[in-house]
Each structure stands twice: as structure tokens, then as C-alpha cells.
Amino acid sequence: MRIVSGNLKGRKFKSALPDGIRPTQDAVRETIFNILGNFTDIEGKVIADICAGTGALGFEALSRGAKAVYFIEKNRKIAEFIERAAADFNLPEDSFSIIQHDALKVLKKMNDFIPGIKFDLAFIDPPYKLRLGNGIAGLLDSENLMNSDGIVVLESDSFENMIVPAGFEILTERKFGETKITLSRKKYV
């Protein structure tokens, strides 16, 4: 597994992947960022990588100039993997934060963790079998955690349909075998 583009392009994750992780494939990550390029610029953005797993999507965003990434990952061993990867990539400590907590619980109290936080972009990649994506997207909307015109990228199995929160509109959906990527954007208010 490697970083596809940006200033970390070609850098590989050194640590062995923890058991139970389903990382987003390099080609799928590259496609996600190519599609995002049609709708937004990553540079200078504040990003949430929710159910982060390896953190590959967040690291890809940092490589492409994101201002900050907040990795939200419940599993302690996986959160430690993200921390080791950040150290291996020599990322500045102020460019990322790892929140080791249940995504649904932390999003309900996000302002307790980071007062006034709003994301420009959120990646949601929960374990497919748990089908948490719609609940997480709903919380991003109901808790007002996205900036106007913010984009949510949901990775799910190809059979799960995104229930678009009231404040969002679907931009595009793409399927890659058993994986579906849905991009939605917060409507201007």
C-alpha cells in the first residue's frame, strides 16, 4: 500500500496492517481523488477520516496539501498503526489528530473534542457489514459539522444505498466490484 499522489507520492506504509482491516485500494483512492478534483481543491482543507482504518484516505489528503486531517478510529491497534504511519511519513504534529473513539459517539460530541470544528471534506469508510455510513453521514449533517459546500465521500458495499441527509445532494456514485463510492455535497444555506 502506497500514497498515490502529492508530496508523499510513492511512499509505502512500513508497518504491517493490523488484522481485520480492509484498506481502500490504491486505484480506488486515486479515482476518488480524481473525482474530487472536479468538485473541490484539497489544498488547505480540514478533513475528517471517519472509521479511518489505515488512514490511507487521510494521508492521501495530507500529501495533496490538506491543512489538517482528523482520523477517527475506534480500534486502539489500528489507531496506533495510523500514529506509526504519520511518524514514518514525518508529518508535522499540527497537521493531524487521531481520535480513538467510536465514530457515532464522538460525532455527537465533536464540539467537546474540538470546539467549533467544521469539516470541508469527510471520508466515511466503516466496516461494510456494520452499515454505519448513513448514520455517520446523518450526524455530520444534524450536528452541523460540515462547512457550506462540504463534501462527504462514503465508501460502502455495492448493495448499500446512501440515504442522503436533508442538507445534502448526491454528486456522483461509482462502483468498483463490491465497493461503491458515493460523493455528496452540503447544500449552501
Which residue ranges form the domains of the chain, and what is each CATH number? 26-186 (3.40.50.150)
Which tens digit of pLDDT belongs to each residue from 1-11? 889 999 999 89
Low-confidence ranges of the chain (pLDDT < 50): none
Can you give the pLDDT at residue 61? 97
At residue 189, the pLDDT reads 57
Q: What's the rounded Cα separation, in Å, for the pair 189 and 187?
A: 6
Partnered with residue 154 across adjacent β-strands are 124, 182
Question: Residue 153: beta bridge partners?
Answer: 123, 183
Burial of residue 66, with CB atoms counted within 10 A of its CB: 0-12 exposed, 13-18 middle, 19 or more buried: buried
Q: Is 139 in a helix, a strand, or coil? A: helix
What pLDDT sits at residue 19? 78
C-alpha 106/C-alpha 139 separation (Å) is 10
Written as one letter, the residue type at 89 is F
- Please tell me the pTM assigned to this model: 0.94
- Distance of alpha carbon 74 from alpha carbon 136, whole angstroms: 14
CB 163 within 8 A of CB 151: no
Query: Would you state the pLDDT for residue 20?
Result: 76
